[in-house]
Amino acid sequence: MWNLFFSLVLSASYGSTLRYKSVERIKAVGKHSLIGASGEFSDFQEILRYLDELTLSDHMWDDGNSLGPKEVHSYLTRVMYNRRNKFDPLWNSLVLGGVKKGPKGEEKYLGMVNMIGTHFEENHIATGFGNHLAIPILRAEWCEDMTFEEAVKLVEKCLLVLLYRDRSSINKFQIAKITTEGATIYPPYSLKTHWGFAAFENPSKGAVGSW
Amino acid sequence: MFRNQYDTDVTTWSPAGRLFQVEYAMEAVKQGSACVGLRSRTHAVLAAANKAASELSSHQRKVFRVADHAGVALAGLTADGRVLSRFLRSECINHAFVYDAPLPVSRLALRLADKAQVCTQRSWKRPYGVGLLVAGLDVSGAHLYYNCPSGNYFEYQAFAIGSRSQAAKTFLERRFEGYNDYTPDQLIKDALSAIKETLQGEKLTSSNCTVAIVGRKDDGTVEPFESIDGNRIQEIIDSMEAAEEAPAAAAAAAESSSMQEEDKGTDAAPMDI
């Protein structure tokens, strides 16, 4: 049974200020997919409106067919690339994942598309600083048949690194999971951090300066 | 149908609530040479009786591939059919470009039906004079639709259109209940038999019929929509004829005489022109 995982920080910025601290950046799309976004939040809201229209008309067909993650990813790629070509991009990096039962069994899908229309499919995707800090960990430690608990542990490891090292991160996370049964977006939670290092207790000790 | 004062325009209703121009368009379908479609859970087959304008010309093409997963067979004004095939191909390609997935057959049939309906409600247009059997494969299995000039469409297990199609329909009505579990080869044989019914005495050969099939094998791989090669069709026709003639003879004699019939069959197979 395939699970697909998303995790993100619940913050939205105003320029370089971390202004909003309870913003959910993951949403379910149709019956089979999840979308997560980083970047300009208002553009993400616009994308969600497009996806709403898409999934609604798909649902109204009521003919046994439904849009799977691959179709949604392809659609978003077309939208993002077209906007880039008009020099009016939607300023987001989108992660699109899902599981859908196909004729060859359960087909899982995870892909990303960004503001310039670059898109690909992979077993692990990250946006922003995640590309530099989380992907190396995932490449080393991900494997095809992890359990749910193992996957959460791995993802939390990545989130912790990001929390310590990415200045625009806060200690408030959310995990979402998608299986053939549907999507579950878990409530926000925090990770345990350790700041009790000697250097932090007296930060200016040993500092060299002119005053 | 006789001429009357309500049949000049497609936008004129008759007092009985009929649109005569649409019904006349459906007559055009009945005049075209026969087409037959049938499907199982995993495969759909289309067959058409080829008709040539004269002995000097090539056959009128009646079966068109619309996408890897779908195709049509048409009866009626073939020029209209060619234009509609181009429309269907364009719809499939556009969908595949945006969604990276094949257009579900029900949605393809609906788009065609909506296009046909437009021509029944504009005073400056006329209905398309062609009926299309749309066969295709999608995630929910194999499908067969019949789209008619009125803009109506229905899904079928098996259907026949065109001239003398009633004979084919009668044949299909007797056998369609088992089709869901038929193998592709059985479907092809029944399609050929149905076409044979419409030929009414004329000998069925690979040069006067076209057969195409689309489907999904048991392991999940897709067999794209493709016309079957003439030689293979002739082999199937020959094996069908041999099987027919065998039960006619007596028990022990049947075996030796059916061998002879088979030999005769292969000797007499006409070459494709």
Interface test with B, best of A29, A58, A65, A71 (most B CBs within 10 A): A65
A110 - beta bridge partners? A97
* pLDDT at position A127: 93
Across the interface, whether the CB atoms of A61 and B107 are under 8 A apart is answered yes
Residue for token digits 């019904």? Answer: B23
Closest in B99, B106, B107 to A71, CB measured: B99
Closest in B99, B104, B138 to A74, CB measured: B99
* pLDDT at position A2: 63
Asked, for residue B1, whether it belongs to a domain, the answer is: no
Asked, for residue B91, whether it belongs to a domain, the answer is: yes
Which residues of A fall within a CB distance of 8 Å from B70? none
Across the interface, whether the CB atoms of B101 and A102 are under 8 A apart is answered no
Interface test with A, best of B106, B139, B155 (most A CBs within 10 A): B139
In the predicted model, residues of chain A with pLDDT beneath 70 are: 1-2, 211
Q: How much is the average pLDDT of B1-6? A: 85
Asked, for residue B236, whether it belongs to a domain, the answer is: no
- Distance (Å, whole) CA A12 – CA B106: 42
pLDDT grade, residue B142 (50/70/90)? very high
User: In the structure encoding, which two tokens stand for residue A29, read together?
Assistant: 């799309």
Which residues of A fall within a CB distance of 8 Å from B97? 78
Asked, for residue B214, whether it belongs to a domain, the answer is: yes
User: DSSP 3-state assignment of B124?
Assistant: coil
Q: Which amino acid type is present at position B87?
A: F
Cβ-contact A181, A20 below 8 angstroms: no
User: In the structure encoding, which two tokens stand for residue B204, read together?
Assistant: 């069925």
Closest by CA to B165, choosing from B178, B148, B151, B140, is B148
Closest in A64, A68, A75 to B140, CB measured: A64
Cβ-contact B37, B135 below 8 angstroms: yes
* pLDDT at position B259: 47
Rounded to a whole number, what is the distance in Å from the CA of A197 to chain B's nearest CA?
52
Cβ-contact A93, A37 below 8 angstroms: yes
B88 has a pLDDT exceeding 60:
yes
Asked, for residue B94, whether it belongs to a domain, the answer is: yes
* B220–A contact, CB cutoff 8 A: yes
- Distance (Å, whole) CA B106 – CA B111: 9
Closest in A65, A71, A74 to B140, CB measured: A65
Q: Which amino acid type is present at position A196?
A: G
A121 - beta bridge partners? A111
Exposed / middle / buried, residue A96 (Cβ in 10 Å: 0-12, 13-18, 19+): buried
Which residues of B fall within a CB distance of 8 Å from A104? 220
Asked, for residue B120, whether it belongs to a domain, the answer is: yes
Cβ-contact B194, B220 below 8 angstroms: no
Q: How confident is the prediction for chain B on average, in pLDDT?
A: 89
User: In the structure encoding, which two tokens stand for residue B51, read together?
Assistant: 């008709």
- Distance (Å, whole) CA B49 – CA B71: 16
* B99–A contact, CB cutoff 8 A: yes
Across the interface, whether the CB atoms of B98 and A73 are under 8 A apart is answered no
Rounded to a whole number, what is the distance in Å from the CA of A32 to chain B's nearest CA?
15
Distances (CA, A) of B181 to A61, B140, B170, B186, B267: 28, 15, 20, 10, 34
Number of structural domains chain B divides into: 1
Across the interface, whether the CB atoms of B104 and A63 are under 8 A apart is answered yes
* pLDDT at position B148: 94
The tens digit of pLDDT for each residue in B186-228 reads 999 999 999 999 998 888 998 889 999 999 998 888 999 999 9
What is B35-104 written as a DSSP string? EEEEE-SSEEEEEEE--BSSTTSPBPP-EEEEETTEEEEEEE-HHHHHHHHHHHHHHHHHHHHHHSSPPP
Tally C-beta pairs within 8 A across A and B: 36
For chain A, the three-class secondary structure string (H helix, E strand, C coil) is CCCEEEEEECCEEECCEEEECCCCCEEEECCCEEEEEEECHHHHHHHHHHHHHHHHHHHHHCCCCCCCHHHHHHHHHHHHHHHHHCCCCCCEEEEEEEEEEECCEEEEEEEEEECCCCEEECCCCCCCCHHHHHHHHHHHHCCCCCCHHHHHHHHHHHHHHHHHHCCCCCCCEEEEEEECCEEEECCCECCCCCCCCHHHHCCCCCCCCCC
Rounded to a whole number, what is the distance in Å from the CA of A138 to chain B's nearest CA?
28
- Distance (Å, whole) CA B50 – CA B58: 10
Rounded to a whole number, what is the distance in Å from the CA of A153 to chain B's nearest CA?
34
Rounded to a whole number, what is the distance in Å from the CA of B100 to chain A's nearest CA?
6
Across the interface, whether the CB atoms of B104 and A78 are under 8 A apart is answered no
* B53–A contact, CB cutoff 8 A: no
* pLDDT at position B126: 95
**Which strand ranges, in their side-by-side order, compose the sheet holding A105-114?**
A26-29, A33-39, A92-102, A105-114, A119-121
Percentage of residues in chain B having pLDDT higher than 90: 76
* pLDDT at position B268: 43
* B98–A contact, CB cutoff 8 A: yes
CATH label of the domain that carries residue B187? 3.60.20.10
User: DSSP 3-state assignment of B255?
Assistant: helix
> Could you give the dihedral angle defined by the CA atoms of residues B262, B268, B270 and B271, in that order, rounded to the nearest 10 degrees?
90
Across the interface, whether the CB atoms of B106 and A103 are under 8 A apart is answered no
User: DSSP 3-state assignment of B148?
Assistant: coil
pLDDT grade, residue B60 (50/70/90)? confident
* B218–A contact, CB cutoff 8 A: no
Cβ-contact B272, B205 below 8 angstroms: no
Helix (H) or strand (E) holding B153: strand B153-155
Exposed / middle / buried, residue A162 (Cβ in 10 Å: 0-12, 13-18, 19+): buried
What number of residues does chain B have? 273
Question: What DSSP state is assigned to residue B105?
Answer: H
* pLDDT at position B265: 41
Rounded to a whole number, what is the distance in Å from the CA of B106 to chain A's nearest CA?
8
Range of the domain at B192: 22-229
* pLDDT at position A63: 84
Cβ-contact A187, A35 below 8 angstroms: no
Across the interface, whether the CB atoms of B101 and A71 are under 8 A apart is answered yes
User: In the structure encoding, which two tokens stand for residue A46, read together?
Assistant: 């616009």
Task: Say if pTM beats, i.e. exceeds, 0.95.
Answer: no
- Nearest-by-CA chain A residue for B216: A103
* pLDDT at position B235: 94
- Nearest-by-CA chain A residue for B219: A104
**Which strand ranges, in their side-by-side order, compose the sheet holding A182-185?**
A4-9, A173-179, A182-185
Asked, for residue B159, whether it belongs to a domain, the answer is: yes
* pLDDT at position B272: 40
Asked, for residue B99, whether it belongs to a domain, the answer is: yes
* pLDDT at position A15: 85
B138 - beta bridge partners? B141
